[in-house]
Amino acid sequence: MVDAAACCSTHLIDGDGSFNATGLDKFMKEVKLGECGLSYAVVSIMGPQSSGKSTLLNHLFHTNFREMDAFKGRSQTTKGIWMAHCAGIEPCTIVMDLEGTDGRERGEDDTAFEKQSALFALAVSDIVLINMWCHDIGREHAANKPLLKTVFQVMMRLFSPRKTTLIFVIRDKTRTPLENLEPVLREDIQKIWDSVPKPEAHKETPLSTFFNIQVVALSSFEEKEEQFKEQVANLRQRFYHSIAPGGLAGDRQGVVPASGFSFSAEQIWKVIKENRDLDLPAHKVMVATVRCEEIANEKYAAFVANKDWCELENTVKSELVPDLGKRLSAMLQTCFSGYDDETTFFEEGVRTCKRKQMEEKLLQLVQPSYHSTLGHIKSETLEKFNKAFESALSEGQGFAVAARDCKTSTMKLFDHQSEGAIIKQADWDTSKVREKCSNEIDAQIADVRNTKLTDLSTLYESKLKEALYGPVEALLQATNDDTWPAIRKLYKRETQTAVTECSAALSGYEMKEDSKKEFLSKLENHGRDIVEKKAKEEAGRVLSLMKERFVSIFNHDSDQMPRVWTGKEDIRAITKTARASSLRLLSVLAVIRLDGDADKIADILVLTLLDPTKVAVKSSTTNDPLASSTWEKIPASRTLITPVQCKSLWCQFQRETEYTVTQAISSQASNKRSSNWLPPPWAIAALFVLGFNEFITLLRNPLYLVMIFISYLLLKALWVQLDIGAEFRHGFLTGILSISTKFVPTIFNLMRKLSEQGQRPTELQNRPHSS
């Protein structure tokens, strides 16, 4: 029994040539043809009317095509083209039952539909069954020979080669063995092929290139039904896995994907109907477009799913793959070669166009990996450059030579590695990445160069500061007439030394002369800035320095010993000398004299501030030279202390040093008073006259003299111990009070010492004599 659901059928093309697109779409959904991809086969059958085509199909594929009723006579059973699903055969197999040829219903003049349906069957079918009577073999006008001749010619002229399996089914086989019938049939087919006009490219092309000819023979269904069914069952087995290699249609080409079968079939029939002369160029392009695009998509999908590509894509994201270009080129070549092999027989323009689109998609797919690889190469190149450059510099190689050599070697490495990333199928230029890498190396060199030059500048600036800062400070604080000449000499010497050493250090940088001069000029200017800055610092605390200078000179003699104001010192002269020295310090710090220009600032300050009486005499006729904010012929940039500030500072200086002078004067007066402890001369003379008798008495009595001598010694000892002279220097009352507090302890101290001296002779006498 035939399962109606399993052998779902539809009337594809009716007798008037109308294509049933709706019915075909419904049929495809019912049999799920659209899900088959390329795994499906199309079988059609053609042959004379009432030759048992439908019967054969029903037994062979378990379909339910309408069969002729033999009891009603021979007549047209199948009108147009019917399509059914072959039940129980894998892969999915679709069979088409064509209207019989040579039917009396259409007549001899209307053979267009027969030709169109035959051409349609050959265009869409993988396997075509040619149903023929055994007794027609060898006959000129039998077995659809005229139809086959027309179909061969048109198919070869208009379609790209598509290999179709033609199975000639010999019906009602006689006793003549098949081995004898088959050569005759093949000879007839070959004659038809040879008689067909061929284009230049296929004149020598054998029939086997386009068609796979097979011949089978079946017994009569009516006379030998069981044998017929057995033979049909054996033939059915050959349709299992018919598209597999070695199957009936294993070498088929240009298959339309199952999802596009409906559209393809409709377009083929439309073109066939509109072109009675069977001119089908439009469909050729359409079929080629569909198929080439399908193959291209398959190859693209296969490439995307390729395990090697997936691993390579993941790896290249994180690390450098040295042979990326070689591996990708091989993968792409395999993909492109597969495409070329499968689209060989399609229209060249369409094939090339679809190949180009596939190439663009695949290259667009692999381009990120290519760019990632170039990025890794660039990063590795920069890293190796940095290491090599740092090593070369640490070994003492010149900066410019090291930079040039390291860049050359690393860029060669970049070029070598970039060659390994080149994909043969892509016309991609690495020049932009190379240029970017080169620019980054140049930027790195520039950064290192700037850093090195900055370090070099800082080094020599530090040396220059160390050489100038302290000495300049000392020279400015120990001011004299040669202060600024000494500073200039020091500045020129140390600056020249620093510039010479720095110039030698710059030789390895191969700087331009102008740049080198500018660099050294900055170093010289830095030395000048150090001197000027230090001068400004000292000028900022000039008042303190002046007071220190004044106090130092005022309180110390020429040997730098502290002064003791005994009363003999000329305080006025000492004060004037100390003030003159302080004023000289003020004049030195008033302006910067690094350029050696002469000025009269010192004279002006001495004349105006140290000898104010002379200025007072001239004030009626001339203006005050310090009543100005600028020095004559001295620019503001060199001015540290203006004339007005000098005058103000001097006034403040005098006020703050007056106390020191006053203290010295007071101390001197006090010393004078303390040194006059003896009575006046008149008192001494009076004592001598009035005390003459007592003096004679002492001379007559020596005991008095002894007592007086002893008293003198005691008083002398007390004088020394109490340091009476020193005590009275601070005033009479102060001396009396100090002596009164120390008198009794001093008496006890003297008595203790005398006692100790008296005991020493006794101890010496009592000490035992050594034998």
Q: Which amino acid is at 665?
A: I
Distance CA 372, CA 313 (A): 10
Q: Is the pLDDT of residue 314 over 70?
A: yes
CB 52 within 8 A of CB 103: no
Specify the pLDDT at position 618.
Answer: 47
- Count the alpha carbons within 13 Å of 605 in the hemisphere toward its beta carbon: 29
φ and ψ at residue 240, rounded to 5 degrees? -70, 130
**Which range, 200-209, 265-274, 584-593, has the best average confidence (pLDDT)?**
584-593
Q: What band does 23 get if pLDDT is binned at 50, 70 and 90? A: very high
Token pair for 409:
């070697």
Specify the pLDDT at position 657.
Answer: 87
Taking Cα atoms as reference points, which of 389, 426, 396 lies closest to residue 411?
A: 389
Mean pLDDT, range 635-661, rounded to an integer:
88
pTM for the predicted model, two decimal places:
0.52
Specify the pLDDT at position 5.
Answer: 46
State the average pLDDT for the chain: 81
Q: Is the pLDDT of residue 606 over 60?
A: yes
Specify the pLDDT at position 523.
Answer: 87
* CA gyration radius, the chain: 66
Mean pLDDT, range 404-418, rounded to an integer:
90
pLDDT tens by residue, 221-234: 888 889 989 999 99
* Residue labelled with tokens 């009516």: 222
The Cβ of residue 325 has, within 10 Å, a number of other Cβ atoms equal to: 21
Specify the pLDDT at position 771.
Answer: 37
Parallel, antiparallel, or unpaired: how do β-strands 92-98 and 81-85 relate? antiparallel
What torsion do the CA atoms of 60, 66, 71, 76 make, to the nearest 10 degrees? Answer: -110
φ and ψ at residue 701, rounded to 5 degrees? -120, 100
Distance CA 238, CA 41 (A): 13
In whole angstroms, how far apart are CA 321 and each of 325, 376, 435?
9, 9, 21
Q: What band does 71 get if pLDDT is binned at 50, 70 and 90? A: very low
* Residue labelled with tokens 């075509």: 128
CB 212 within 8 A of CB 126: no
Q: Return all residues near 42 (Cβ < 8 A) that are at least 6 apart.
A: 93, 94, 95, 96, 124, 125, 126, 127, 261
Between these two residues, 465 and 137, which has the higher pLDDT value? Answer: 465
pLDDT tens by residue, 476-512: 888 777 888 888 898 899 989 988 888 888 888 888 8
Taking Cα atoms as reference points, which of 388, 404, 393, 391 lies closest to residue 505?
A: 393
Specify the pLDDT at position 750.
Answer: 76
- Count the alpha carbons within 13 Å of 54 in the hemisphere toward its beta carbon: 20
* Residue labelled with tokens 């490495």: 413
Distance CA 239, CA 56 (A): 14
Q: Return all residues near 405 (Cβ < 8 A) that are at least 6 apart.
A: 392, 397
In whole angstroms, how far apart are CA 317 and each of 276, 373, 594?
60, 8, 65
Q: What band does 249 get if pLDDT is binned at 50, 70 and 90? A: confident
Distance CA 258, CA 256 (A): 6
In whole angstroms, how far apart are CA 423 and each of 206, 321, 349, 527?
40, 13, 25, 60
Mean pLDDT, range 161-176, rounded to an integer:
80
What are the DSSP E strand ranges found in 532-669? none
